[in-house]
Amino acid sequence: MLTMRDTFIEDIYRRMHIDENIFFVTADFGSPMLDYIRKAFPNNFINVGIAEQNLINVSTGLSLEGYTVYAYAIAPFMTMRAYEQIRINLSLQSQLREINVNLIGVGAGLSYDVSGPTHHCLEDISIIGTLPNIILFSPSDCALVQKFVDYSINVKKPKYIRLDGKSLPSIYNNLGDIKLENGFTEIKKGEDVCLISTGYMTHKAISVANILKNIDIDVGIVDVYILKPLNGDLLYEVINRYKYIITIEEAFINKNGLDNLISIILENKNSDIIIKRLGFKDSYTFTIGSRDHLHRLNNLSEEYIVESIKKISKEI
């Protein structure tokens, strides 16, 4: 299985053969596929060094000259170390000028699990989502990443593309079935309970649904991949038939993440759907271990989610 980053970079590499208007800028962060771009397009490839703030500055300058720019770095360092530059150069300035800078952040959520809390990225949805004029893309598999390449070129706005750092199995086998402009896909229809997830946690939602199916509990699954702008009206049409919504995300809950986005939709519709939020509480995890181990410590394991839904089903 390819990683999301190699899938994305491979497609950009192909596009650079036919579009000399594309620049790729990295903060001294590599990958096997990136070597092809560096060698084939030395005039359109820049390594700014371990300097994420300057990464944003250089990328913005290139975009203001009319180039389509991909800025590449580790997700927590890009979004937090360079937050002021993202705010001033991209969020603020793009309200006045056309800027097509695509921030490729690798290591969303707990993809760098054993590297500890400095490399965990649980804040990016919240803090980037706060900024106006930036599109926030949170894919769950490589097919979505591949589908997003055309969008990233054609939509002339700043974008934050949060990619998982690990190889993940496919969810979407047919690119034609993905309506990217909707921002979400209802993967599975259910009865009373619906799991709404983003990124890696969609894989966990599918696994949970398969476990529950064996005990005759039928839950729905909605995968949200464009968190901003979120098509709230369209999403509500899909989830309105459920009694319970459970949001699951590798992010802090109650802090402008996926859970708050769904909560706002329900509030705006005066809905009586009950929402349960699963994610990280207001603390960091210093324990070193695998992703699954860290999920067990933070009530995000398959077992915990299954038991939560079984309890809800008894109350319905």
DSSP secondary structure code for residue 121 in this structure? B
**pLDDT of 293 strictly over 90:** yes
Mean pLDDT, residues 239-248: 97
Domain boundaries, the chain: 4-163, 183-315
**Beta-carbon contacts of residue 250 (< 8 Å; ≥ 6 apart):** 108, 109, 110, 122, 199, 200, 201, 279, 280, 300
**pLDDT of 176 strictly over 80:** no
Q: Which CATH superfamily is domain 4-163 in?
A: Thiamin diphosphate (ThDP)-binding fold, Pyr/PP domains (3.40.50.970)
pLDDT, residue 29, reads 82
d(Cα 220, Cα 242) in Å, to the nearest integer? 9
What average pLDDT does the chain have?
Answer: 96
pLDDT, residue 1, reads 72
Classify domain 183-315 by CATH number. Answer: 3.40.50.920
pLDDT digits (tens, 9 = 90+) for 255-272: 999 999 999 999 999 999
pLDDT band, very low/low/confident/very high, at 33 (cuts 50, 70, 90):
confident
The structure tokens listed for 230 are: 């979120």
Q: What is the sign, positive or negative, of the torsion defined by CA atoms of 112, 84, 257, 95?
A: negative
Angle (nearest 5°) at CA 88 between 83 and 89: 100
**pLDDT of 316 strictly over 80:** no
pLDDT, residue 255, reads 95
Domains 4-163 and 183-315 share a fold: yes
Does this model's pTM top 0.75? My answer is yes
pLDDT, residue 31, reads 84
